[in-house]
């Protein structure tokens, strides 16, 4: 650069709306978000669309199909836990988390990907029942194995009467089972939970 030549002046890039790409003049109302800068009209319109979508997530719920999805998910989780126990001969309760996850997913998917507190309650009820039945099957496997080792032939039905169901579950109850049950409930609760707009 020759002496006395004017130094180049840095020019700032104009700020444009991330939606309509309108150049925003200084002082013009705007909203800064993680997704970019928006002019106020675009921001208000997009906010309204998001709120409408959130409101619609709990409308027109197909509860019969949600029930079917929850039961199918719980059955899958029960089969995974029981199958793991039979194959490994280990009652690893952490596998039971699959019950809560599969139940929540089943409820949400077959309800039409809806989210509502009623679906959360449904998923929890089904997952608790699934956990209880899986606990029965797991304990039943170990009880039958122990009785067979002693030369006793005892039949424990897959669908037991209430008193037998309770006795078999309580026979293998441990404090950690409550922890696993709490995790199962949490998984079932969070999956169909309504999406909420974060408050600023």
CA–CA separation, 160 vs 157, rounded Å?
5
Nearest to 104 by CA among 58, 66, 59, 61: 66
CA–CA separation, 137 vs 83, rounded Å?
10
Contact 122, 67 (CB under 8 A): yes
List the beta bridge partners of residue 23. Answer: 16
CA–CA separation, 96 vs 11, rounded Å?
61
Dmax over CA atoms of the chain, in Å, equals 107
- Secondary structure E strands in the chain: 30-33, 36-39
- pTM metric for this prediction: 0.73
Taking only the tens of pLDDT, the chain with its 200 residues reads: 455 555 454 456 788 888 888 888 887 888 888 778 888 888 888 877 777 777 767 778 899 999 999 999 999 999 999 888 878 877 677 788 899 999 999 999 999 999 999 999 999 999 999 999 999 998 888 888 888 777 777 778 888 999 999 998 888 788 888 999 999 999 999 999 987 765 54
CA-CA-CA-CA torsion sign (171, 172, 173, 175): positive
CA–CA separation, 187 vs 63, rounded Å?
19
């Amino acid at each position: 650069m020759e002496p006395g030549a004017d130094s180049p002046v840095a020019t700032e890039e104009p700020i444009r709306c991330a939606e309509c790409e309108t150049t925003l003049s200084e002082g013009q109302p705007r909203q800064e978000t993680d997704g970019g800068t928006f002019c106020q009209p675009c921001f208000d319109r997009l906010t309204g669309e998001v709120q409408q979508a959130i409101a619609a997530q709990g409308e027109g719920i197909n509860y019969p199909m949600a029930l079917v999805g929850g039961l199918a998910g719980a059955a899958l989780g029960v089969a995974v836990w029981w199958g793991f126990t039979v194959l490994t001969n280990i009652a690893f309760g952490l596998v039971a988390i699959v019950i809560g996850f599969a139940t929540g997913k089943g409820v949400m998917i077959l309800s039409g990907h809806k989210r509502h507190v009623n679906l959360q309650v449904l998923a929890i009820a089904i997952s608790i029942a699934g956990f209880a039945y899986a606990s029965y099957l797991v304990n039943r496997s170990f009880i039958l194995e122990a009785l067979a080792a002693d030369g006793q032939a005892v039949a424990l039905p897959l669908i037991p009467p209430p008193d037998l169901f309770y006795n078999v579950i309580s026979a293998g109850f441990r404090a950690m089972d409550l922890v696993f049950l709490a995790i199962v409930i949490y998984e079932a609760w969070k999956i169909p939970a309504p999406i909420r707009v974060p408050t600023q």
